[in-house]
Structure 1
């Protein structure tokens, strides 16, 4: 039986994406030259990346991508960049005791970067143990993956615009993709310009704090590095203590940018176009801001009343109340949007505090944002569909459509959202059991909460979990089989699960 997928074109386009990474690798190469560290590592990676990409492009048949080929291309592209991104880790750690020299660890770290998960297997994160170039590459992978590699490709290469809408819809984080301009390539450019603009703004503000003396250790390197991981809701940091290594004013500066990163970026285009009412009336945006406000307020009360008795007070002018509010706002802004930054070891908090954070992790950011998770818009549709089900049970003759912001949601979309949510929870439950059993197999007992948080943190591209997987811990001790499962979870979670699972079905390839 012949294949019903023109895999050659998908592979050829994947080669184009891989070749593009050779250009992105020039950034850490420049740093390597400046600091005199790992120059050979990045030179070798660039040569290898360009050669592999050129070789894959030879499969091109000059045919347009169909729906199946688009799914295959997006899945292959994201997995391929993770493989390529792992090469510098392996080369830099070769011949040393670095944990990243192990291919599985390198693949885990690279996948975590590109999918903006922020989970790490680095045992020691510091510029004393790793080069400036390698740690900046770690940050850059998150920034490239945040708005979407395919979105960037559509913005750069006009030939992809023919299938651009379908490709971006497959990659887009959420159930809907909105075309903002007549040409899809222009829409991709708009999204990346907004994304780039916010990144530059945050980097300038952080460095400005350094120049003003309010953030002594936020030099230009750290300012750029943290801007690279805030806007993509990534969570990697060159500092072992994450954002806790910086002053409270830095933390307050980053909070609104994490919230921005979890907002549908199309809304910022409407703001620039003067269509402010579109933003104010957007039901998902209102629910998103409302959820952040309610969760932050609740967590602040819990912290103030002792949910984290060892919480540092953080500054003479920042009393207990101000500190509780800052910690609550930061952790909710970070975990609900799947950023993964931390200013406190919430793994040591009370059960109530941890359960609230776990709840925030399940919500996710907005569709069309760089945030991951289930997404606010899906929860809105699920709740409205549930209310309709209750209503029609009492009034079986009634016809009651599900509306969101005055727009009727078609039944196919509702079905897709319900299916996605069911698959999400089934995969989450399976992964939780596997993680617990596999860790126990190698004599590494995990608590149920640690196994649950590890599964959710990787599938939801969140990063930190609880216990040994907490914000100041790492995934290093987990067995390789669990790490490989988590690589799959991060990959599937970033592409909204269904496009990845399709690639493993007979129907996709044969029927």
Structure 2
């Protein structure tokens, strides 16, 4: 028996990723200097990252990796980046009562950031305790993780681009990779360019509203902070009230950008290239927009008529108020369906009918090739078409009926992959829900079945908020450390779509 996976090549390339992680760490250093805050947490992390990265690079480096080495590299990279991302939190809170001084809390917050989950252990008071630099790093982790750390490395590093197709296949959200150009590195650069442009436009709009007097508290810092977390469908906000802290025009503006973030970014490149018809012909995009529109109209009707109760406080009154009903509905559906996790109202206080609509939105997920989390719309389309085919062939066993998407036949291997992923996703989510409930009862923490259910779904789906104590204005701090570490694992496998991580636990992956 001997190893069939060249782990040294994978780990050596992880060193390269860590070394270049020092570059974005310069941004919070600049923010700290602007606001007169300590730069030590970030300078020390930069030094540590470069040292560890160089050390790992000394291992044998074979850039032409096969599928096993690619999956190992991607899985370890995301775990290593989250671990490094936690270091500034721990150092900044050292010797204080900061929530993030605890390494488990710091790792939870960092993994939530890089995987764009948006689940947090910080409450209103905790948010106010942290410096502008620490909060900006928290926002930046989501922007880096949105389009994908490995996609970025493929775009800028030739030694990584050699095996770029294998790597992006292991990291990219969705069942398939759509190459936009013959060279995978160029495709990666195109995706990041589209992502960057939308982020810049969104930040410019937010700050423009501030300059025009339409969003008084949306200064440059907040505009950048929310730009860093909207396009990656992350949902972190430096404001305790999330987007409810801002005017209605900011909330309305966030809706289309969240929808954009949940759309396959390759479609936008086709539009820029003069092939706008691809939007209309794309079956996943049509289903995605139909789901958002249908759920928005349904929820708006509930809010307007009082079926989901009239809101007060942050959300304002919706019953009988058409504009607010539409705005609250459109915002929450776009936020949860795309896994962004922002909030403009505390939907924990809604009736069960309103929560069911939101829960359904959480299960749908964004599009393949987007920054959105969840199962993904294209997978649900394939699952439903598969079930319809099974019902048809039960009474017509002699008929061969392929499954088609957009006029193209879906390969049977791809169908099996989608079914396998969906089963694993739902199974792990169910088992994790049970563990969270049992673990909470072990320490005497009251956790309802709905809260355990939503916490599991919110972390494996990279959604962020759930219901009850983990609602949009709650947090995950009260969970025992064992539950937090489980949710770190759920966020990790959820972002990488399960297989690249779980396959590492099989004996056949390592030995012949």
1:34 offset after TM fit, Å?
1.4
The residue aligned with 1:182 is 182
The residue aligned with 2:291 is 291
Classify the secondary structure of the residue corresponding to 2:129.
coil
Partners of 2:3 and 2:318 lie apart in 1 by 67
Question: What are the Cα deviations for residues 315-359 of structure 1, in whole angstroms up to 9, with x where unaligned?
Answer: 899971110110000000000000000000011110001111011
Partners of 1:387 and 1:316 lie apart in 2 by 42
Classify the secondary structure of the residue corresponding to 2:15.
helix
Partners of 1:317 and 1:311 lie apart in 2 by 8
The residue aligned with 1:322 is 323
Q: 1:166 to 1:285 in 2, by over 3 A?
A: same
CA contact (8 A) 1:126 1:239 kept: no
Structure 2 length-normalised TM: 0.98
Question: What are the Cα deviations for residues 148-203 of structure 1, in whole angstroms up to 9, with x where unaligned?
Answer: 00000000012222211111111010001100011111000000000000000000
2:125 counterpart of 1:120? no
Alignment of 1:134-145 (within 5 A): 134-145=134-145
The residue aligned with 1:353 is 354
Partners of 1:375 and 1:62 lie apart in 2 by 33
Alignment of 1:486-497 (within 5 A): 486-497=487-498
2:420 counterpart of 1:416? no
CA contact (8 A) 1:126 1:240 kept: no
Output the aligned Cα RMSD.
1.5
The residue aligned with 2:3 is 3
Partners of 1:149 and 1:416 lie apart in 2 by 24
CA contact (8 A) 1:122 1:474 kept: yes
The residue aligned with 1:206 is 206
2:387 counterpart of 1:386? yes
Return structure 1 stretches of 4+ with deviation > 2 angstroms: 60-63, 123-128, 308-319
2:178 counterpart of 1:154? no
The residue aligned with 2:225 is 225
CA contact (8 A) 2:199 2:227 kept: yes
2:169 counterpart of 1:172? no
Classify the secondary structure of the residue corresponding to 1:343.
coil
The residue aligned with 1:467 is 468
Question: What are the Cα deviations for residues 91-130 of structure 1, in whole angstroms up to 9, with x where unaligned?
Answer: 0010000010000000000000000000000133666411
The residue aligned with 2:47 is 47
Q: 1:192 to 1:319 in 2, by over 3 A?
A: farther
The residue aligned with 1:62 is 62
Q: 1:138 to 1:313 in 2, by over 3 A?
A: closer
Residue segments in structure 2 that go unaligned for 5+ positions in a row:
none
Alignment of 1:26-37 (within 5 A): 26-37=26-37
The residue aligned with 2:16 is 16
The residue aligned with 1:510 is 511
The residue aligned with 1:457 is 458
CA contact (8 A) 1:22 1:49 kept: yes
Partners of 1:322 and 1:148 lie apart in 2 by 36
2:85 counterpart of 1:85? yes
Partners of 1:130 and 1:452 lie apart in 2 by 31
CA contact (8 A) 1:15 1:57 kept: yes
2:332 counterpart of 1:331? yes
1:35 offset after TM fit, Å?
1.1
The residue aligned with 1:249 is 249
Partners of 1:200 and 1:84 lie apart in 2 by 27
Question: What are the Cα deviations for residues 268-302 of structure 1, in whole angstroms up to 9, with x where unaligned?
Answer: 00000101111111000000000000000001011
Partners of 1:44 and 1:220 lie apart in 2 by 27
1:313 offset after TM fit, Å?
8.7
Partners of 1:10 and 1:232 lie apart in 2 by 26
Residue segments in structure 1 that go unaligned for 5+ positions in a row:
none
Structure 1 length-normalised TM: 0.98
Partners of 1:325 and 1:18 lie apart in 2 by 44
CA contact (8 A) 1:147 1:195 kept: yes
2:426 counterpart of 1:425? yes
CA contact (8 A) 2:66 2:166 kept: no
Q: 1:486 to 1:317 in 2, by over 3 A?
A: closer
Question: How many pairs does the alignment contain?
Answer: 511
Partners of 2:125 and 2:75 lie apart in 1 by 30
Question: What are the Cα deviations for residues 196-245 of structure 1, in whole angstroms up to 9, with x where unaligned?
Answer: 00000000000000001110000000000000000000000000010010
Classify the secondary structure of the residue corresponding to 1:178.
coil
